[in-house]
Amino acid sequence: MIQEITRWADALSDSEKRRIYEAYVDTWEAKIGAFLQFDTELGLSLPRGNGSLSGIPFAVKDNIAVESFRLTCGSKILESFEVPYTATAVARLMEHGAIPVGKTNLDEFGMGSSTDNSSLKKTSNPYDTKRVAGGSSGGSAAAVAAGIVPFALGSDTGGSVRQPASFCGVYGLKPTYGSVSRYGLVAYASSLEVIGICAQSISVLKTVFEIMRGEDPLDHSSLPYPAYHAEGLQAKRVAVLDEVAGLDEPVKAAYERSIAALKSTGYSLVPVTIPSLEYVLPAYYTIATAEASANLARYTGVAYGRRTDWAENPEELIRKSRTEGLGDEVKLRILLGTYVLRSGFQDQYYIRAQKIRTAMRKDFERVFAASDILLLPVFPTLAFPHGNDGMDQFQQKMADRFTCTANLAGLPALAFPTGLENGLPTGMQFLAPPFCEERLFMAAERMRHIFPEIHPEGYREDWR
């Protein structure tokens, strides 16, 4: 059993300990609003096995299916929908004894960088409740940072695990595309998104990933995970960008500290340029919105989900149900995606974006021919304030260029904490070639010994 989480196994073992645990959760939940549904009794009632995670509670982003729990995607159109099956990634964790205790808040259908786009609840940063937790997996990152669970599942389409992990001072893994089954993950942009992990420690994150990974007959995009070759595990050469512009001063300071830390631990630094980075955002949002347009066409109010109270015909039923059930950001992305897929526009936008995606993969092949891993910032700012004092939707999209790269290229990426600046967490990320997650774990573990462990005020371990 993992040393760091053995104490968690007692949290749900009897009624008195469960009462203490739930009181701790209630205290945090009143401040940060991480969960859309928290139900230890329901989690305990589900069948599970015994293994390395026996008795360990964990949380699941509410766009990933867990039998008998709701599956809302943070949207009014699915607000009361209960799912009759469990995602493969969750099922594998439960087979090893883990207990799903709740579903976490998110930007509606995973579309956003703040979790403020949720139609159902507001989630705040555990370090400063006036600020966002990041997104779209903000509820998962906040729950882990507050010590409610040792790990939580999220989804990462363009940084949606790594950015909130960075904002909340925890680890966030976006695995290689195809390494973890997407069966049970509600589709947004199918060629980009993966199920990822937020965790308090590298050892927990690594164990959870090793349990979840591998081919799944229910997901045609999943792949067998290759065996490790010992000589390929240890990263020795770290690529760093020749120039990184547009970072706020606290993030720039954290980036420079990370480079100094790499030097001090014996890594060889390899300066690189990635020409395709200039085109990341237009390519990403063209592809993501096109796929969203196709995937969200199923929400009609006919078969399931929210249905308008009254309509004269099926066309009006669908139009009114979508108007009432979907938020502004979701509608915007569907409209953009429909536009770029129109006859006569595909070559101009969608096909061109796919060509940029291919060029990006070739750029990364050149980078990893000369290095083992790549260091990048996660987000150019610290966690920003809620509302008008923060970043608007366009500014948030423009800030995604460092995270979207891994999704376009299908690469594994790991966000790791680098301490505090102005009382808020900072984080960087490592990227590696496909199926080289172990390099990321080993590099982040070395960084752990340099950067101090951080926790928000109110975080307690003595309740366990």
- The per-residue DSSP string of 335-380 comes to HHHHHHTSTTTIIIIIHHHHHHHHHHHHHHHHHHHH-SEEEEES-S
| Phi, psi (rounded to 5 degrees) for 172 | -140, 120
What are the helix (H) ranges across 187-303? Answer: 202-212, 249-264, 280-295
- Angle at CA 425, nearest 5°, toward 206 and 258? 70
Our answer to whether residue 136 is catalytic in this structure is yes
160 included as an active-site residue? yes
For tokens 């995270």, name the residue. 403
DSSP annotation of 54 reads T
Q: Is the peptide bond before 137 cis (omega within 30 degrees of 0)?
A: no
What residues does 37 pair with on adjacent strands?
103
Burial call 61-75: b when 16+ CB within 10 Å, e when fewer: bbbbbbbebbbbbbb
* 61 catalytic per annotation: yes
Helix axes of 401-409 and 351-370: crossing angle, nearest 10 degrees: 90
The closest of 446, 398, 394, 388 to 418, measured between CA atoms, is 446
Catalytic residue among 124, 160, 181, 371: 160
Token pair for residue 233? Answer: 């595990």
Smallest CA-to-CA distance from 242 within 259, 228, 227 is with: 259
C-alpha 385/C-alpha 237 separation (Å) is 37
Backbone dihedral region of 26: left (phi > 0), alpha (psi from -120 to 50 degrees) or beta? alpha
The CA distances from residue 164 to 124, 167, 397, in Å, are 11, 5, 14
CA separation (Å) from 67 to 102, 120, 198? 12, 20, 21
Catalytically annotated residue among 119, 136, 201, 371: 136
Catalytic residue among 61, 103, 174, 206: 61
The CA distance from 432 to 442, in Å, is 12
Q: Give the active site residues.
A: 61, 136, 160
